[in-house]
Amino acid sequence: MRIAILAPPGVQMLDVAGPIDVFHEANNHVSGNDKYQIVIVASTRDAVTTSSGSRLLPDASVADPLAAFDTLLVAGGPGIQGHERDVEVLCWLRAQASAARRVGSICTGAFLLARAGLLNGRQVTAQEGAIEQLPATFPGQAKSGCVFVRDGSVYTSSGGGAAIHLALALVEADWGSNIARGVARQILPFLSEPDSEPESAAKPTTKVSYDERVADLHDWIKSHLPDDLSVETLASRLGMSVRNFARLFKRETEMTPGEYVQVTRVDAARRMLEESNSPLKRVAISCGFFDQSTLRRAFARRFHMTPSEYRRRLRAGKQAATVAYRAA
């Protein structure tokens, strides 16, 4: 899987090095040819002077002919707003994002994504001090106090160590909880834990569980959404009493089993809305909701809009990004 990390002038070194270390460690836990390949991209081939004064040599520039990337990340830095109108960089971002499976930003990297029209209608986050300036840059919802936020295929994070948590979430999405947990054990013992917990626009699985039973159950739930996922069923699967299971699950996931199942189902429905034109009735049944009305109520509680409204906003955002790309 090819991952591009865009390093703007004045980039924070940890915003680049943190995710690279996570992806490199993940490669030690997987086999086959689908390992992560990291490409550091900058506006030119010249060395990038970071916020600390050190110099970072990019692998490529936005002017180079580059194949599509699976994941596109934009690192941040304190001086990024002075470069957010770089037309060549913005055009490159739009072109690469249109082919990427997912895009993301670390801290003020969100300003570049916003200026490129790639955050329209999304819930996003950035570091305190930068988050307050985001609403004036894009039509979306800025969330403060979050380590990172996932909104569909768009990931945004705070700064510093949050970049590592974001990268771990991407590893978990690609390889499952067991691999992410193994990577975290190698990376996180040497870091301070952030003050606030990760949050996602569809918030089920951003916290890596260190209990293998719960981690495996997370993966099993995601692959059995249409089935009976009552607390009794889940407890029975782990061979535990309902009371002991609920206590363990809450400790590891910081949600009750019912809350986790609900947000996981809503998250799956959201992905179906983004990735397909399936009728809402089919989306509801596929994701484990009794009917379309049940999906609508759960979706509205989570995102303050109905599935139909979300789909309309998503299409409008894509059209706006296309118009912005042509204008640039």
Q: Rounded distance, CA 82 to CA 108, Å?
A: 11
pLDDT band at 134 (very low <50, low <70, confident <90, very high): low
Q: What would the mean pLDDT of 229-243 be, rounded to a whole number?
A: 94
Annotated active-site residue 91? The verdict is: no
Enumerate the β-bridge partners of residue 103: 72, 154
Which of 136, 163, 142, 150 lies closest to 76, judged by CA? 163
Enumerate the β-bridge partners of residue 73: 5, 104
Instruction: Write the DSSP string, 211-254.
Output: SHHHHHHHHHHHT-TTS---HHHHHHHTT--HHHHHHHHHHHHS
Q: Which of 16-20, 240-244, 279-283, 320-324 has the lowest mean pLDDT?
A: 320-324
Cα 25 → chain centroid:
19
Q: Rounded distance, CA 26 to CA 180, Å?
A: 8
Beta strands 2-6 and 141-142, pairing class? unpaired
Between the alpha carbon of residue 224 and those of residues 192, 235, 254, 271, 325, the distances in Å are 35, 15, 21, 16, 40
Active-site residue (options: 91, 107, 146, 287): 107
CA contacts within 13 A on the Cβ side of 61: 10
Q: Which pLDDT does position 89 carry in this prediction?
A: 93
How many other C-beta atoms are found inside a 10 Å radius of the C-beta of residue 220?
Answer: 13
pLDDT band at 21 (very low <50, low <70, confident <90, very high): very high
Average pLDDT, whole number, for the chain?
83
Which of 71, 148, 69, 66 lies closest to 102, judged by CA? 71
Q: Rounded distance, CA 58 to CA 45, Å?
A: 6
| Residue 144 tokens, joined | 């403060």
Residue 194, helix vs strand vs coil:
coil
Residue 201, helix vs strand vs coil:
coil
Q: What is the pLDDT of residues 49-75, one digit of tens each?
A: 999 999 999 999 999 999 999 999 999
Contact of 208 with 179, CB cutoff 8 Å: no
How many other C-beta atoms are found inside a 10 Å radius of the C-beta of residue 319?
Answer: 12
Q: What would the mean pLDDT of 232-254 be, rounded to a whole number?
A: 91
Residue 290, helix vs strand vs coil:
coil
> Over 50: is that where the pLDDT of 45 sits?
yes
Q: Which residue has the higher pLDDT, 191 or 12?
A: 12
Residue 132 has what DSSP assignment?
G
Q: Which pLDDT does position 9 carry in this prediction?
A: 92
Q: Could you tell me the domains of the chain?
A: 2-190 (3.40.50.880), 212-313 (1.10.10.60)
> Over 80: is that where the pLDDT of 317 sits?
no
Q: What is the pLDDT of residues 164-211, one digit of tens each?
A: 889 998 998 888 878 888 888 888 754 433 333 334 443 333 455 556
Cα 69 → chain centroid:
16
Beta strands 37-42 and 2-6, pairing class? parallel
- Which amino acid is it at 169? A
**To 5 degrees, how large is the angle CA 52–CA 54–CA 59?**
125
